[in-house]
A and B are shown apart, each in its own frame.
Chain A
Amino acid sequence: GENVEQHPSTLSVQEGDSAVIKCTYSDSASNYFPWYKQELGKGPQLIIDIRSNVGEKKDQRIAVTLNKTAKHFSLHITETQPEDSAVYFCAARGGNTPLVFGKGTRLSVIA
């Protein structure tokens, strides 16, 4: 089955700097890669996703890149703000199978 590795587990950045979180997946059949933001005591919130027919997708300060050959995908947050502090999860899925999540990255944006 699918296995998703996520790095780093914790990340601290200064406000205004960029943050990058990386994930790798194992199943070449996976074709959908969402990113979720989870704040303390809340459910995960979908912030951006990308499908295997696209290499990059951007939504304001958030971007996701996908390298199908290397089975890598990354989340990029630019101009970070304190409210970006949260736990971020990557996930992968192929077809109708359930999402497989990475272990999460705790992002702290220091004002």
Chain B
Amino acid sequence: GAVVSQHPSWVICKSGTSVKIECRSLDFQATTMFWYRQFPKQSLMLMATSNEGSKATYEQGVEKDKFLINHASLTLSTLTVTSAHPEDSSFYICSARVPGSRNIQYFGAGTRLSVL
């Protein structure tokens, strides 16, 4: 299947700092990418839909100023957790929809964020 690369896989940061997570589609161009958050032993919670060249669509309850999403190219979307706090610690996963595949979606390996 298509490859979605996510970086970094694990990041530890101090409270109050910002962290950027990158999501790249390696062998296809993705006009639409998705960002999910997953708590331990729980399902994936959609945070936002990232569309290349336009503003992201955030799900209800997700703070857009807290979780900044940029999808500046057809192969890269970034999620920046601004002024991170311990409650932002979680597993963040990106996903990209393969164009022309009738909506098949592939996921990155995820980023574990720990805020001290």
Contact = CB atoms under 8 A, between A and B. Distances in A.
Interface of A: 32, 34, 36, 41-46, 49, 51, 89, 93, 96, 98-99, 101-104, 106
A89 B49 CA distance: 20
Given A41-B112, A49-B104, A99-B105, 11 more contacts: A32-B103, A43-B93, A43-B107, A43-B109, A44-B93, A44-B107, A46-B105, A102-B43, A103-B42, A104-B42, A106-B41
B80 to A, nearest CB: 19
Nearest to B44: A101
Interface of B: 1, 4, 6, 34, 41-44, 46, 49, 93, 102-110, 112
A42 B44 CA distance: 12
A96 B43 contact: no
Contacts, number: 45
B43 A45 contact: no
Contacts of B106: 46
Contacts of B104: 34, 46, 49
